[in-house]
Amino acid sequence: MSRVINIESAGKDRNQLVISILLAVRELGQSSQDMEKSKDLVAYMIIALSTIAQTIDASVGAWEKRGYWVKADRFRMEWGWTQTKSDILYKCLINQDWDGIIQQVVQISQKLSSVKIPARKPAIESWRGAYQHLMSKS
């Protein structure tokens, strides 16, 4: 029997989401006049940050099974901010607090400043309709 290799890991998903968040931040900076597009971009960031927060336990599960508690705790501390920022952004979006949104987006981009966006990253507009999707889930 051969080994089963899972190519869709939580780490790979997290990396793709981080890059998409940075692309959304870049797009948000360029589309300050289009309110619907801005709402979609912020909603996409909220969904992506929440999804990243959900991958944390899957990533540290293997380390905890082997007794690498310190490594697991460091990882949780490194990524624990994602759910908090998602919640804050959601409150700002609901209240139409654009100053708060800008402040949070700047902090998010600072947290992710070490991530390099590939030069040939295609411009996928996965954020389209994110605001409607987020509001329908609430």
pLDDT, one tens digit per residue, over 68-102 is 899 999 999 999 999 999 999 999 999 999 999 99
Give domain status of residue 122, yes or no: yes
Give domain status of residue 1, yes or no: no
pLDDT of residue 82: 96
pLDDT above 90 covers what percent of the chain? 57
Q: Domain range for residue 35?
A: 10-137
Q: What is the mean predicted confidence (pLDDT) over 30-47? A: 90
Give domain status of residue 2, yes or no: no
Instruction: Give the C-alpha separation, 53 to 86, whole Å.
Output: 9
In sequence order, what DSSP letters do the residues of 26-44 get, joined into one string? HHHHH-TT-HHHHHHHHHH
pLDDT of residue 123: 64
Give domain status of residue 17, yes or no: yes
Supply 89's token pair: 């952004």
How large is the angle between the packed helices 81-94 and 130-137, nearest 10 degrees?
A: 90
pLDDT of residue 48: 96
Give domain status of residue 3, yes or no: no
pLDDT of residue 39: 94
Give domain status of residue 4, yes or no: no
pLDDT of residue 112: 93
pLDDT of residue 85: 97
Give me the sign of the Cα torsion angle 97, 41, 17, 121. negative
Q: Which of 78, 97, 101, 90 is nearest to 43 (CA)?
A: 90
Instruction: Give the C-alpha separation, 12 to 27, whole Å.
Output: 23
Domain total of the chain: 1
Would you place residue 126 in the very low, low, confident or very high pLDDT band (cuts 50, 70, 90)? confident
Most confidently modeled range among 34-38, 42-46, 69-73, 129-133? 42-46
Task: Provide the residue type at 74 as one letter.
Answer: R
Stronger pLDDT, 36 or 3, i.e. the higher one = 36
